Structure 1
Amino acid sequence: MFLLRSFIYLLFLASVAYLIQLEGFALKQQALYSEHTLTEHMQEGFTLLSCVLFCYASRINAQLKIAALLLATLSALMFVREFDSYLDLYVFDGAWQSIVYAILALTAGYLIRHRGTVYSSLTAYARTPSYGICLSGVVTLLAFSRIMGKGEFWHSVMGENYMRVVKNIIEEGIETLGYALIFIAAVELVLLCRKAVTQQHTALTEL
């Protein structure tokens, strides 16, 4: 089963890479890799799906509830940030910041009420395969993509031939990989929680 799952993830990430390239193949020198592109929409989709999956995991596993909710919150914040242009345009300027602050306030209040179980839940999550994948995705997204997307680096490499689109492709491509890894981590967590529920049900049936 693990070989099939590995192959599915391989195909998934290969498909993500191909979809990132589609804009370049279609628009060639006119490709910008900025807002309102397929790459950007993939990022939004991955964050939304990750949020939904983490929320689902929190509902079916009491031990991992806090950890899953924190990951759902992180995914929600990422989704709002990626959706900022739409919110500013169709709601009001600065809407995404207001939503972020509201989510953080609600999460902080929840953690305060359940502060006795936060550490144990996070420790339990750190022992799961999902943790390593999620951590890799977060580091890829928040650190690696930012370092590789530094304009000074690309100006240094390309000099007078600097093309912003090259920097955008690298940065947005790595960001999308980070989001995809977090999505895989969410899938893995749901599968783990579903397996635990099934085993618990089986154990109760055998009693």
Structure 2
Amino acid sequence: MSLTVIRTAIPDVMIIEPKVFGDNRGFFFESFNSREFEEVTGVVRTFVQDNHSRSSRNVLRGLHYQIQHPQGKLVRATVGEVFDVAVDLRKSSSTFGQWVGVHLSADNKRQLWVPEGFAHGFVVTSDYAEFLYKTTDYWYPEHERSLLWNDPKLNIQWPIQGDPVLAAKDANGKRLADAEYFG
């Protein structure tokens, strides 16, 4: 196996570490192999869309989810570093309302599996970062929701000083108490 899986405090959210082959020329690794992903995670999904973003330091994107057509996301940073967060919005889950955060970077090459039923977001902790998302469903803007990034109930420990740079939809996200959940 060329992948290692690390279960987080929310076991359905997993850190994926690829085996990296490197020498004086650089490095090589498989960034995705469907068969191996299924074998090591137990997750059987088809990814239908890839997204790529670039953001500057302190840009915070999220916490996003789609109330219909929920998206599972396999995410990673290809340039720079981010602090990536997943919040469990599955009302029937024992970890409902809890969050996990992981540093993803071009250096550590880690990926994070964020299943359907979670809000997802990240903040850039380097000068800039490029971030890739593989998603299990398409983007439907009419079903997109934003959870408030600084909801005191969530108490997410974002590793930033000062205020983040936010899109209007993220600045106006809903608190957990007022948000739409999954069953």
TM-score tier by shorter-chain length is under 0.3
Task: Give the structure with the higher percent helix.
Answer: 1
Rg larger in structure: 1
Q: Structure 2 length normalisation: TM-score? A: 0.23
Q: Structure 1 length normalisation: TM-score? A: 0.21
Task: Give the structure with the higher percent strand.
Answer: 2
